[in-house]
Structure 1
Amino acid sequence: MTTVKRRRSPRGSGDQLRDEILDAATELLLESGQVKAVSIRSVSQRVGVTPPSIYLHFADKDALLDAVCGGYFERLDAVMQQVADEQPTTIDRLRAQGLAYVRFARQNPELYRIAMMSEGRPGSDVDLALNTAAFVHMRDSVQALMDEESFPQGDVTAAALGLWTVAHGTASLLISRPYLPFGDPEEFADRVLSAACLGGMVRGLGGLDVTPQDLVDRLKGL
């Protein structure tokens, strides 16, 4: 690969170079679909700088990939918020957030694999993004349902994690096993996420101590 010559950046432009490094690493991932295509050398060649310039911003390849995935979750949050703002009710907002999550993961499968389907390291940019962006907004939707008394009262973070698990499991299977007989992936994801949201609401009507059979009996009696 030929190194692209890059003009020396003016003083104070470190943030610009960092952004260029992240863009280059992201492009290499999306173009190749493989993590191994991203190395400090390949990124430095893409940007037109020497490898030591990369190390001024990122300690190693793992730190660089963490930052790439952190940016992924920032974009994911923007998408989830956009669809949520278009919904008329809280439950519609939560369902739309989950569906946007699955859709975005399917549109960016390699980035999703790195961010959510590989071993994580506490304190990484990925964890920070989850705790401050997309997950927080989904948790806010769950809290709003609790405030409306439409969802079981309790630990809002644990409840949101439960719904996040449904979205993640759906996205992961659609990405890693696309040949399974899901039917239309969008419709499949919608059914699964709608069932999870509505199931939580139904359980909320019955109370935390109600059993599944109790709910079945009550629904039959309606």
Structure 2
Amino acid sequence: MTTAEPRKRNRRGEGGKLREEIIAAAVALLDEGGDERAVTLRAVARKAGIAAPSIYAHFPDQPSIMLAVVQREMDRLAVVLGKADENAGTDARTRLFAVCNAYLDLAREHPQRYRIMFGGLWTPSVDDTSISDADLESLGAEALTLLADVLGACVAQGIAHGSDDLYGDAVALWLGLHGLAHQRAVVRKMPGPADVAERLITALAHLK
């Protein structure tokens, strides 16, 4: 029987690297089929190859680790949607469906990560001053801005009805996508027509 090679200590000034390793360990635990209950401080430390007390220099508790996971996954969502938008060209309809389908694909490919992004079980403790209200309010802001931009392009190109509140429309579209993604994750067979995603996007984007 062989033992795992002990983790090499980071050099002085590499604390940020250890923080990222802790977050990566938490994500790995989620990806292995568990849920947030599997992401304990002890399990994260074991996965990262460190002593549990080493975590406290970066995170005061488990919810703070989960919030860091959510922040990273929200950033990744923005990157994925951004790449889908860039690859779609300049046609607004194509951009809209590329971005929305990329959202649905991400939710399907990483269900555990996606669920924790909106699970609300990562609220940091009141003693955690490293997380501000602004940090919480900014979650998903970049992705939401992109949705609003694409909706605006649809209006500008004359394929969608105009709106005085593109931000509100983007929120409604996100909620619709989230609802569909959630239903696909929790039911064995999704009811309804095969083109339900297209119908939902068409309706919420006010396409003509």
Distance 1:79 1:109 in 2: 15
Per residue, is there more helix in 1 or in 2? Answer: 1
**Structure 2 residue corresponding to 1:98, chosen from 85, 100, 117:** 100
* Gaps in structure 1 of 5+ consecutive residues: 203-222
Corresponding residue of 1:79? 80
Identity percentage over the alignment?
30
Aligned residue pairs total 196
CA offsets 1:93-133 (integer angstroms, 9 cap, x no match): 122211111110111111111112446758385642311x2
Mapping for residues 177-188 of structure 1, pairs under 5 Å: 177-182=187-192, 187-188=195-196
Query: What amino acid maps onto 1:196 in structure 2?
Result: L
Conserved 8 A contact 2:85-2:95: yes
- What TM-score do you get using the length of structure 2 for normalisation? 0.82
Question: How far off its partner does 1:145 sit?
Answer: 3.4
Q: Which amino acid aligns with 1:116?
A: F
Structure 2 residue runs without a partner (length 5+) = 124-131
Name the residue aligned to 2:51.
50
1:155 equivalent among 148, 155, 165: 165
> 1:110-189, aligned counterparts within 5 Å?
110-118=112-120, 121=123, 123=133, 127-131=137-141, 133-148=142-157, 150-182=160-192, 187-189=195-197
Distance in 2 between residues matched to 1:43 and 1:95, nearest whole Å: 37
Q: Does 1:193 align with 2:201?
A: yes
How far 1:23 sits from its partner (Å)? 0.8
Partner Cα separation in structure 2 for residue 120 and residue 142 of structure 1 = 31
CA distance, structure 1, for counterparts of residue 119 and residue 193 of structure 2 = 23
Residue pairs, 1:1-40, within 5 angstroms:
5-40=6-41
Contact 1:99-1:193 within 8 A present in 2 as well: no
Q: Aligned equivalents of 1:124 and 1:43: distance in 2?
A: 27
Q: Deviations over 1:51-72 (max 9, x none)?
A: 2211211121111111112111
Alpha carbon RMSD of aligned pairs, Å? 2.5
Q: Partners in 2 of 1:41 and 1:114 — Cα distance?
A: 19
Once the two structures are overlaid, the 10-residue window that deviates more, 23-32 or 140-149, is 140-149
Deviation of 1:148 (Å): 4.5
CA distance in 1, matches of 2:33, 2:122: 22
Whole-angstrom distance in 2 between the partners of 1:4 and 1:67: 27
> Are 2:110 and 1:108 equivalent residues in the alignment?
yes
Following TM superposition, the consecutive aligned residue runs of length 4 or more in structure 1 with deviations greater than 6 angstroms are none
TM-score normalised by length of structure 1: 0.77
- DSSP 3-state at the match of 1:201: coil
Does the aligned pair in 2 maintain the 1:152–1:201 contact within 8 Å?
A: no
* CA shift for structure 1 position 143: 2.9
Query: Larger radius of gyration, structure 1 or 2?
Result: 1
CA distance in 2 between partners of 1:124 and 1:106 (Å)? 29
